Amino acid sequence: MNEQDGQSKQDGQNRQYRADAVDREMAVRLLPGPVVRALSRWWETNAAAYADGTPGTHTIRYTPGRWAHITAWPKALAPTSASGDAALSRAQVASTVADALRQEAFREALVATYVWGKGKRGTPGGSGPSALHKILAFDGLDAALAAAVTALREHGAPQAYAALQGQVPGLGPAFFTKFLYFTGMAVPPARGPQPLILDRVLSRRMRQLAAAVGRASGHDVDGSIAAWVWSDGNWSPHRYQVYLSFMHAAADQLAADDSWPSDAAPDLLECALFTTAWETSD
């Protein structure tokens, strides 16, 4: 190893050390006051919709006809021959996935989560239906999905994430964590937290939190570490584990606050963060 290689390795180790330090600080500080207040306002607006403390009624609209060339179409979804739009809630997706997994119909489970994730953004020949068509054409898809379900059942969410990462062309974590999230409702992980959705929007929320903690603690004054670990995609299984640990702990933090439901599930926080913005200072 030459001197330049040695310096590069040392720089990488130092960057990882700082990232770990920011993670530890976030685990202690959790959600700061401005975020708690923003989430409290979100709950005031959405309490009636999510009265049971879960985002099960969180519903998207999609156009079935735009997915007409997709095979393994779940019967619980509106037929692709239907005209107009249809609605699909988280609770309906969870039920559909559970039914599909009982029959080892992994493709149907994936289709339900993918269509829900895309919603009205799915257009004929567009990034939704065409991307899903290519994913379904991959010969190793069933084996990859089955391996992820087994990893979740026998190990935990980070291991299930690792089982899918990079295994299916075109299926990135923003969508395969949706598959893991809904699968986790039917197949509880052997240990550790329930899987949650992690996409670009939620990663940017985490980046904002990490940058604030990095500035306050001195571990990441310029925000470069936050931008590195909470990038827009391709997160590592370790990063997913950090995300899950933080979200479950933050959900417990909110549950102790009178302005948030005491029996709320962590996925309610995920749902809220997706649509909630806040100022970085009091």
Flag whether 206 is in a domain: yes
Global pTM reads 0.93
Give the count of beta carbons closer than 10 Å to the beta carbon of residue 14: 10
**Domain termination residue (choose one: 162, 186, 210):** 186
Burial class (CB in 10 A: 0-12, 13-18, 19+), 45: exposed
Task: Tell me: do 86 and 160 sit in the same domain.
Answer: yes
Contact 159, 123 (CB under 8 A): no
* Residue 121 confidence (pLDDT): 75
Flag whether 1 is in a domain: no
**How distant, in Å, are the alpha carbons of 75, 255, 273 from that of 35?**
40, 14, 9
**Domain termination residue (choose one: 186, 219, 240):** 186
Task: Tell me: do 37 and 73 sit in the same domain.
Answer: no
Q: By residue range, what is the domain housing residue 115?
A: 59-186
Flag whether 11 is in a domain: no
Task: Tell me: do 162 and 253 sit in the same domain.
Answer: no
Residue 80, phi then psi, degrees to nearest 5 = -70, -10
Flag whether 20 is in a domain: no
Continuous H helices in the chain? 3-29, 33-46, 90-102, 106-118, 129-136, 141-154, 157-164, 173-186, 200-217, 224-229, 237-255, 266-275
- Tens digits of per-residue pLDDT, 62-81? 999 999 999 999 999 999 99
Task: Tell me: do 65 and 172 sit in the same domain.
Answer: yes
- Tens digits of per-residue pLDDT, 119-172? 987 554 456 899 999 999 999 999 999 999 999 999 999 999 999 999 999 999
* Residue 2 confidence (pLDDT): 47
pLDDT of 117 above 70: yes
Name the residue with tokens 């997915």.
Answer: 67
Question: What average pLDDT does range 85-103 have in this prediction?
Answer: 98
- Tens digits of per-residue pLDDT, 170-218? 999 999 999 999 999 999 999 999 999 999 999 999 999 999 999 999 9
Buried-exposed string 221-250: b where 16+ CB fall within 10 A, e elsewhere: eeeebbbebbeeeebebebbbbbbbbbbbb
Read off the DSSP letter of residue 89: E
Domain count, the chain: 2
Task: Tell me: do 81 and 38 sit in the same domain.
Answer: no
Task: Tell me: do 96 and 72 sit in the same domain.
Answer: yes
Q: Which residues pair with 62 in a beta bridge?
A: 86
Name the residue with tokens 């990441």.
Answer: 220
How far is it, in rounded angstroms, from Cα 220 to Cα 68?
48
Flag whether 13 is in a domain: no
Task: Tell me: do 271 and 208 sit in the same domain.
Answer: yes
Task: Tell me: do 66 and 180 sit in the same domain.
Answer: yes
Contacts of 220 (CB under 8 A, 6+ apart): 18, 22, 210, 211, 213, 214, 226
Give the model's confidence band at 231: pLDDT under 50 very low, under 70 low, under 90 confident, else very high. very high
* Residue 80 confidence (pLDDT): 95
Flag whether 111 is in a domain: yes
Supply angle C-alpha 29, 35, 39, rounded to 5. 125
Question: What average pLDDT does range 21-31 have in this prediction?
Answer: 98
* Residue 127 confidence (pLDDT): 66
Flag whether 230 is in a domain: yes
Give the count of beta carbons closer than 10 Å to the beta carbon of residue 16: 13
Task: Tell me: do 141 and 202 sit in the same domain.
Answer: no
Amino acid code (one letter) for 258: D
Task: Tell me: do 179 and 89 sit in the same domain.
Answer: yes
**Domain termination residue (choose one: 151, 186, 221):** 186
pLDDT, the chain, mean: 93
Flag whether 19 is in a domain: no
Task: Tell me: do 148 and 174 sit in the same domain.
Answer: yes
Contact 88, 77 (CB under 8 A): yes
Q: Which of 9-23, 86-100, 169-183, 259-273 is least confident?
A: 9-23
Residue 274 structure tokens: 């997706």
Task: Tell me: do 73 and 170 sit in the same domain.
Answer: yes
